[in-house]
């Protein structure tokens, strides 16, 4: 399968990449790891006339701690997140999420920024980013701005990034004390995409009650979404098996569950509830509850 | 618009002018002429096209040749040295880790990375690490045995 012909650019700075983006506008696509874009180009679902490869732009990859945040460069690969000693020690759930993406070869190339900017409705990171309360840093000609995850995913493969901006960094807060988080999914057997995936982060107070629950769902609808009903069902409760079951029963509420080749609305709604229960159970266990 | 690319494949240097849309797997097979790397699903799921780029397993059907400019690549043809099969190849031979053999080059290149990262893998880890390589003949059992054999026979790391 051959993509439509295009001109290839490999700028050596964000500024140069932004200039190319400004010049070619809708005719251009940014290329990171290419593991979403290139398959779409091969199927000719995407036919950009200009491809702007970010591989030579310095400073876009790597993970560092910045106060209570992990700052992850947009070009950081899934394997780098999966294998990072810093991520494993500060925010293990993120490393675990990365390790569930695709397969080892895909994780070698696919990038955090690419996944978050592409916003595939079945991608794994979006659910985790919602549960963890991440922020996206976009750079444009006028400088940088930060977008909270709840304002990021707008719809099917649509995000808050401006057409004249580049997502340069993803910032993820580390969990407070007495917290636990988990991401679990039902993977498609060939692609390993999430048929449904749920990430849950739970913080317990001194009495073992849930002081905060944050839950993201991916795969079910047209975009990853916060499961507000589950969060409300957890708040202030002692999260035993019955309370988790009751909260998780709300997992498909407010989600625009889509029937597709993987399953019916009923089936995928059921998976939302099952995986919300499993993710919450594991998160509570890790929080020491 | 053709662009110059230069890369090292199996310790040999190659330079060509290519169309940007030329996929790395077609560059390797058709421009360079190394046909051991296969095209299977062509959708980055089956792993038949797996090669090593700068030491990492990459699905070459999902990568443009221009992105590999300056890279150091190893394909299945680069594994045997002086007519001696690599221990991973020997493992597939000894344990009958193939039937039709179509997926084998990609399997072996993925296993190369697997054993670099996890020199003594458990069976469970092997099966997880093979998620990106599909085989439609063997049911994977003999492939797992081949990898276990290879892990035991790999030369000690310097």
Does residue A58 fall inside a structural domain? no
* pLDDT tens string A120-139: 999 999 999 999 999 999 99
pLDDT at B156: 78
Residue A86 lies inside a defined structural domain of this protein: yes
Asked if residue A244 and residue A151 are part of one domain, the reply reads no
Domain boundary among B49, B78, B107: B78
pLDDT above 90: percentage of residues in chain A = 97
Tell me: do A156 and A204 sit in the same domain. Answer: no
Q: Does some domain include residue B69?
A: yes
- Classify residue B27: in a domain, yes or no: yes
Which domain range does residue A192 map to? 179-286
Find chain B residues with C-beta within 8 A of A35's C-beta: 44, 62
Do B25 and B62 have their domain in common? yes
Asked if B37 has any chain A CB less than 8 Å from its own CB, the reply is: no
Say if residue A192 is in the same domain as residue A280.
yes
Nearest to A5 among B19, B67, B132 (CB): B19
Q: Please state the domain count of chain B.
A: 2
Alpha-carbon distance values, B75 to A216, B5, B8, B50, B151 (Å): 40, 18, 11, 8, 20
pLDDT score, position B158: 58
| A67 and A109 co-located in one domain | yes
The mean pLDDT of chain A is 97
SS3 sequence of A82-114: HHCHHHHHHCHHHHHHHHCCCCHHHHHHCEHHH
Q: What is the pLDDT of residue A27?
A: 97
Domain match, B111 and B146 both = yes
Q: Which domain holds residue B145?
A: 87-153
B79 close to B86: Cβ distance less than 8 angstroms: yes
The first and second tokens of residue B14, run together, are 């190659």
Give domain status of residue A206, yes or no: yes
Residues with pLDDT less than 50, chain B: none
Which residue among B47, B78, B109 closes a domain? B78
- Residue A122 inside a domain? The answer is yes
Alpha carbon distance A59, A76 (integer Å): 10
Q: Which residues of B touch A57 (CB under 8 A)?
A: none
Q: Do A130 and A204 have their domain in common?
A: no
B146 domain-assigned: yes
B59 and B97, same domain (yes or no):
no
CB atoms within 10 A of CB A149: 25
- For residue A258, is it within any domain? yes
CATH code, domain carrying A26: 3.30.43.10
pLDDT score for A190: 78
Q: How many domains does chain A have?
A: 3
Domain boundary among B25, B51, B78: B78
A172 Cβ contact list (under 8 Å, min separation 6): A69, A70, A72, A91, A94, A129, A132, A133, A134, A135
Residue A264 lies in a domain: yes
pLDDT, residue A262, reads 87
CB-based contact (8 Å) between A46 and chain B? no
Does residue A272 sit in the same domain as residue A187?
yes
Same domain, residue pair B139 and B104 = yes
Contacts of A96 in chain B (CB under 8 A): none
Is residue B158, in this structure, part of any structural domain at all? no
What are the pLDDT digits (tens) for A188-199?
Answer: 987 889 999 999
Whether A233 maps to a domain, the answer reads yes
Name the closest residue on chain A to residue B40, using Cα atoms.
A1
Same domain, yes or no: B10 and B72: yes
Chain B: residue nearest A83 by CA? B117
CATH number for the domain that contains residue A243: 3.30.390.50
């Amino acid at each position: 399968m051959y993509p439509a012909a295009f001109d290839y650019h490999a700028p050596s700075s964000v500024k140069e990449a932004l200039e190319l983006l400004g010049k070619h506008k809708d005719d251009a696509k940014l290329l990171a790891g290419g593991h979403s874009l290139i398959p779409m180009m091969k199927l000719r679902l995407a036919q950009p006339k200009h491809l702007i490869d970010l591989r030579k732009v310095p400073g876009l990859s790597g993970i560092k701690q910045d106060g209570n945040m992990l700052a992850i460069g947009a070009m950081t690969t899934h394997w780098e997140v999966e294998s990072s000693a810093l991520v494993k020690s500060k925010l293990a759930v993120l490393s675990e999420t990365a390790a569930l993406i695709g397969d080892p070869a895909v994780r070698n190339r696919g990038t955090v920024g690419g996944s978050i900017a592409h916003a595939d409705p079945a991608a794994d990171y979006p659910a985790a980013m919602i549960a963890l309360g991440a922020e996206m840093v976009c750079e444009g000609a006028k400088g940088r701005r930060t977008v909270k995850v709840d304002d990021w995913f707008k719809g099917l493969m649509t995000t808050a990034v401006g057409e004249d901006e580049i997502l340069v960094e993803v910032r993820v807060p580390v969990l407070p004390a007495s917290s636990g988080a988990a991401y679990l999914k039902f993977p498609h057997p060939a692609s390993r995409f999430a048929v449904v995936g749920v990430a849950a982060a739970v913080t317990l107070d001194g009495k073992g009650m849930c002081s905060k629950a944050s839950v993201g769902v991916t795969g079910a609808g047209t975009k990853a979404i916060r499961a507000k009903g589950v969060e409300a069902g957890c708040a202030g409760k002692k999260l035993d098996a019955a309370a988790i079951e009751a909260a998780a029963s709300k997992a498909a509420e407010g989600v625009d569950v889509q029937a597709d080749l993987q399953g019916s609305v009923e089936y995928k709604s059921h998976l939302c509830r099952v995986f919300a229960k499993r993710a919450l159970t594991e998160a509570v266990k890790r929080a020491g509850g | 618009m053709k662009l110059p690319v230069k890369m090292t494949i199996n310790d040999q240097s190659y330079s060509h002018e290519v169309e940007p849309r030329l996929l790395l797997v077609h560059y390797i097979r058709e421009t360079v002429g190394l046909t051991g790397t296969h095209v299977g699903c062509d959708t980055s799921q089956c792993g038949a096209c797996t090669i090593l780029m700068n030491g990492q397993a990459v699905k070459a059907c999902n990568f443009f040749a221009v992105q590999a400019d300056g890279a150091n690549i190893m394909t299945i043809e680069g594994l045997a040295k002086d007519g001696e099969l690599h221990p991973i190849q020997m493992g597939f031979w000894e344990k009958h880790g193939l039937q039709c053999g179509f997926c084998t080059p990609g399997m072996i290149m993925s296993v190369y990375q697997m054993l670099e990262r996890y020199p003594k893998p458990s069976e469970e880890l092997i099966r997880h690490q093979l998620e990106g390589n599909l085989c439609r003949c063997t049911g994977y059992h003999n492939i797992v045995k081949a990898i276990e054999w290879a892990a035991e026979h790999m030369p000690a790391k310097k």
